Amino acid sequence: MPDFDTVDGSVTHRELWRELGCPQRPKEIWQKPFEFDPAHYERLCQRCATDARFPANHDPVDLESYLEDLTYVEETQPDLLLFLLPLCLRAWSWNLLSGTESFSYYAEEFWRPWSKGSPMHGSLFELLSEKQRNAFERYVSDAIIAAIDRAPALKSGAGTEPDCGRWLSELGSFSTVCPGLSQLWHTWWNLETEGRAIGALQYLSCLMYEDTTNPIFPPWKTPHRYGGPPYLWANSMAVNDQPWDPENVSFLKDVLVPTQLLSAIDRCLERLTNAEDRKIAAQMKIDFAYQMTLLELRIEQLPIILSSACHGKWII
């Protein structure tokens, strides 16, 4: 068994492998490749069996080819999928947590075969047991939490892409494909780390303020530079015409309660160590009552947007 003790979130690779049932290399590979050449299967199996670590210099091409197979080939080999799944998940989390772009295309395509609208078949989750599906969700959830925990600061620099943009987009993809938002959300909004407090305030600011007055995300300066807050319905998928999972939309309706959000600001203040971050959070607490009308309207609008196959935008 390879060394699986490197960590992407709070789930080690060894734990993931065990929760998936300790999958072994298939004795025979019979899955048909989309591009006709099956050589990438052998290379991926070899990598999965001998290299649990994921250095930046790994070439994502074989994994990209495998995603094409999973998406467009009619029949998926279940034992091959299960054996390669830890490698596929590590590549996805590497893109999320490393801050590099080498696996960005792979990450954009990662969710497509798992979605309910896969072109050739239903969701790949149908090939997994309930325990294996739970392991998948927990690994992804913990990786997103790890990304939130790494938040460098509350405020984005003018003209720069928000630091929270990557994990927020992955949160959107996860919530579209998997019904497990509640566990991730409760872990995030327990606000046990400064990063989680920063992420919660960033999320809340998108509900509280107009795009041009958000104190955390400076407005656009020119059409060619980043600016303004991220969209709370964003996702990381290259192609997505699906709404969020209904269970997640229902959950969000239950937790986006103004009194609870105001209480969260106080708890966030207890976690913040940077003076500028604390000043912004304190101002948000003062602004809360003045922004209540907009906040309530957006809390009402957000589940409607997330329930639409073609995500829209704020009405106000």
Q: What is the pLDDT of residues 161-188, one digit of tens each?
A: 778 999 999 999 999 999 999 999 999 9
pLDDT-derived band of residue 28, with 50, 70 and 90 as boundaries? very high
How far apart are alpha carbons 269 and 167 in whole angstroms? 22
Please tell me whether the overall predicted TM-score, pTM, comes out greater than 0.85 for this model.
Answer: yes
User: Residue 1 above 50 pLDDT?
Assistant: no
Structure tokens at 78: 């279940």
Specify the pLDDT at position 264: 98
| DSSP symbols for 197-257 | HHHHHHHHHHHHS-TTT-SSSPPPSSTTS--SPPPTT----SS---PPPHHHHHHHHHH--
Please indicate whether residue 315 or residue 204 has the higher confidence score (pLDDT).
204
Q: By the 8 A CB rule, do 180 and 136 touch?
A: no
Please indicate whether residue 19 or residue 48 has the higher confidence score (pLDDT).
19
Specify the pLDDT at position 240: 73
For the chain, the average pLDDT equals 88
Instruction: Kindly report, residue by residue over 241-266, the tens digit of the pLDDT.
Output: 789 999 999 999 999 999 999 999 99
User: Residue 118 above 60 pLDDT?
Assistant: no
